């Protein structure tokens, strides 16, 4: 049963894709065509793994790139009928290089959308460099390592974040690496929240 499995080769999701999955898959395909390393993180990872909630955006880190590389990627996105609902996609490099994000959505739409960022700290960079593969509907996308997602959600501490952490922890249980999870928990200083999680 279940249809969501964490294997040695990554996450396998065996349900029909929803609107967020379709958006993530299409963006990932376009990024891969430009050899732009990227990783989906945060709430979308919980939703991909079956969490019954929604969100307004899909958070995705892309590797820091040159202005020319970003401009080429933007041209590809626009050719594929994407736009920037908050700011023109032509501002992508300026936004990303100044540490802010940029929204990317299907042309004329506001939601669902992607919130694209360059990694900003060691946890962001760790998500990118330790990404695992997630397969759904015959497609593969990179997602942040589940142990880091859990610890980071505990650190964020909002209700939805804590529930996301609980979802991932209780769903994957013993298939998670306790050593890696506890390393991230310690780095993020979320020992108390983690202790509560292990009691669920």
Partner 1 sequence: MPDSQNSEANATVGEIAREPRFDAVVRWVEYIQNNPPEVWGPQQNAVVDGQIDSAAAVDRSPEEIRKIRSFADDVLAEREESSEE
Q: Please, which residue, 4 or 80, has the CB nearer to partner 1?
A: 4
The answer to whether residue 18 forms part of the interface with partner 1 (CB under 8 A) is yes
The answer to whether the bond into 185 is cis (omega within 30° of 0) is no
In the chain, where does DSSP find H-type helix?
Answer: 19-33, 43-48, 67-79, 92-97, 122-129, 146-156, 159-172, 178-188, 191-197
3-state helix, strand, coil in the chain (%, to 5): 50, 20, 30
Residue 71 CB, nearest approach to partner 1 (Å): 22
Instruction: Specify the DSSP class assigned to residue 174.
Output: G
Ranges within 49-88 binding partner 1 (CB under 8 A)? 50-56, 85-86
Query: In what helix (H) or strand (E) does residue 57 lie, and over which residues does it extend?
Result: strand 57-62
With CB under 8 A as the contact rule, the residue among 2, 121, 174, 198 that binds partner 1 is: 2
Q: Please, which residue, 93 or 103, has the CB nearer to partner 1?
A: 103
Instruction: Specify the DSSP class assigned to residue 113.
Output: E
Residue 96 CB, nearest approach to partner 1 (Å): 17
Q: Please, which residue, 10 or 50, has the CB nearer to partner 1?
A: 50
Angle at 113 between CA 52 and CA 32, to 5 degrees: 100
Residue 177 CB, nearest approach to partner 1 (Å): 19
Among the residue ranges 72-80, 116-124, 127-135, 160-168, the one whose residues contact partner 1 (CB under 8 A):
160-168
Which residues in this chain contact partner 1 in the complex, by CB under 8 A?
1-4, 13-16, 18-20, 47, 50-56, 85-86, 103, 109-112, 158-159, 162-163, 166-167, 170-171, 200
């Amino acid at each position: 049963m279940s249809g969501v499995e964490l294997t040695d080769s990554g996450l396998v999701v065996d349900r029909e894709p929803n609107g967020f999955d379709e958006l993530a898959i299409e963006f990932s395909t376009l990024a891969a065509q430009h050899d732009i390393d990227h990783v989906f993180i945060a709430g979308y990872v919980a939703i991909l793994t079956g969490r019954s909630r929604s969100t307004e955006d899909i958070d995705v880190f892309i590797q820091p790139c040159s202005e020319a590389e970003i401009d080429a990627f933007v041209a590809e996105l626009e050719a594929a009928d994407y736009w920037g609902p908050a700011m023109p996609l032509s501002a992508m490099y300026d936004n990303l290089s100044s540490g802010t994000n940029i929204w990317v959505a299907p042309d004329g739409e506001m939601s669902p959308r992607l919130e694209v960022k360059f990694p900003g700290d060691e946890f962001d960079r760790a998500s990118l460099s330790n990404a695992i593969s997630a397969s759904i509907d015959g497609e593969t996308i990179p997602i942040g390592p589940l142990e880091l997602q859990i610890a980071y959600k505990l650190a964020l501490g909002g209700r939805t974040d804590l529930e996301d952490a609980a979802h991932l922890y209780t769903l994957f249980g013993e298939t998670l690496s306790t050593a890696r999870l506890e390393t991230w928990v310690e780095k993020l200083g979320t020992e108390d929240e983690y202790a509560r999680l292990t009691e669920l």
